[in-house]
Structure 1
Amino acid sequence: MTQTAQQLTPSAQEAICEALNQCVAETTVSTMLSQNFHWNVTGMSFGALHDLFQKIYEDHFVAQDDLAERVKALGGHAEGQLALMLKRSKVAEHDGNASAEVMVETLAKAQDTIAATLAGTAAIAEEHGDLLTQDLAIARGQVHEKFAWLLRAHLG
């Protein structure tokens, strides 16, 4: 049965908000990861990667807001502390001191991680009849899968 945010049970809201906060954390860490790589990439692929990394962090900045606002729409608390996000995230920070190839590989893995987390979030939302969160999570997951593909295309 399809539910609106106000029709969900408190336990459903809690489960969905927990999953969404995981998505926010991983998206936020990936935002900084891609911006860090944007600042520090060098080499023959500089122009293309500099632009791609910027496209990724600009997308992610908007996405973290959309995900956090969905948490709020569901009556939850959007976790906004960076220390908590770093602790929660399955995407790790990087010092940005790496070859362009390592940057691309690292960021592609981050995109895969976020896509998987979003797929899990979509499944939780579907289980509780929250089609709006399910749709948001699926759409975001597709974006992250596309970014992973674009990144891997640079590796040959």
Structure 2
Amino acid sequence: MTQTAAQLTTSAQEAICDALTQSVAETAVTTMLAQNFHWNVKGMAFGPLHDLFQKIYEDHFEAQDDLAERVKILGGHAEGRLSEMLKRSKVAEHDGHASAEDMIRILADAQETLASTLAGTAAVAEENGDMLTQDLAISRGQVHEKFAWLLRAHLG
């Protein structure tokens, strides 16, 4: 049965908020990863990679807000501490010292991790009848799959 946020049970809201919080954490870490690589990329592909990394971090910054606001709509607490996001995230931060090819691989892997996490979030939302969160998670997951593809296309 499809339900609005207000109609969900407390346990459903908590389960969905937990999954969303994981998505927010990984999105935040990946945002900074892309921005770090944007600042530090060099080499023959500097221009297109600099632009692509910027497109990614700008997209992710907005997505963090959408996901965190969904947590709030469901009655949860939007975790805003970077230290907590880093602890929770399956995506690791990076010091930015890497070749352009390694940056691409690292960021593509992060995109695939995010897509998988968001697919899990969608599944939790579906199990609990929250189609609005399910839709948000699916659409975000598709964005991350596309970014992974765009990044890997640079590797040939």
Report the TM-score when normalising by structure 2. 1.00
Q: Which amino acid aligns with 1:97?
A: H
**Distance between the aligned counterparts of 2:94 and 2:76, measured in 1?**
30
SS at match of 1:144: helix
Q: Does 1:9 align with 2:9?
A: yes
The runs of 4+ residues in structure 1 deviating greater than 6 Å are: none
> Corresponding residue for 1:127?
127
> Corresponding residue for 1:110?
110
**Distance between the aligned counterparts of 1:71 and 1:93, measured in 2?**
24
**Distance between the aligned counterparts of 1:152 and 1:68, measured in 2?**
29
- Say what the alpha-carbon RMSD is for the aligned residues: 0.2
Report the TM-score when normalising by structure 1. 1.00
> Corresponding residue for 1:137?
137
> Corresponding residue for 1:54?
54
> Corresponding residue for 1:38?
38
**Distance between the aligned counterparts of 1:27 and 1:103, measured in 2?**
17
Identity of aligned residues (%): 81
**Distance between the aligned counterparts of 1:145 and 1:110, measured in 2?**
10
Deviation at 1:86, TM superposition (A): 0.2
SS at match of 2:95: coil
Alpha-carbon displacement from aligned partner over 1:104-155 (angstroms, at most 9, x marks no partner): 0000000000000000000000000000000000000000000000000000
Deviation at 1:39, TM superposition (A): 0.2
SS at match of 2:42: coil
Deviation at 1:65, TM superposition (A): 0.2
**Distance between the aligned counterparts of 1:124 and 1:20, measured in 2?**
9
**Distance between the aligned counterparts of 1:30 and 1:121, measured in 2?**
17
**Structure 2: gaps spanning 5 or more residues:** none
Count of residues paired in the alignment: 156
**Distance between the aligned counterparts of 1:24 and 1:80, measured in 2?**
9
Alignment of 1:77-116 (within 5 A): 77-116=77-116
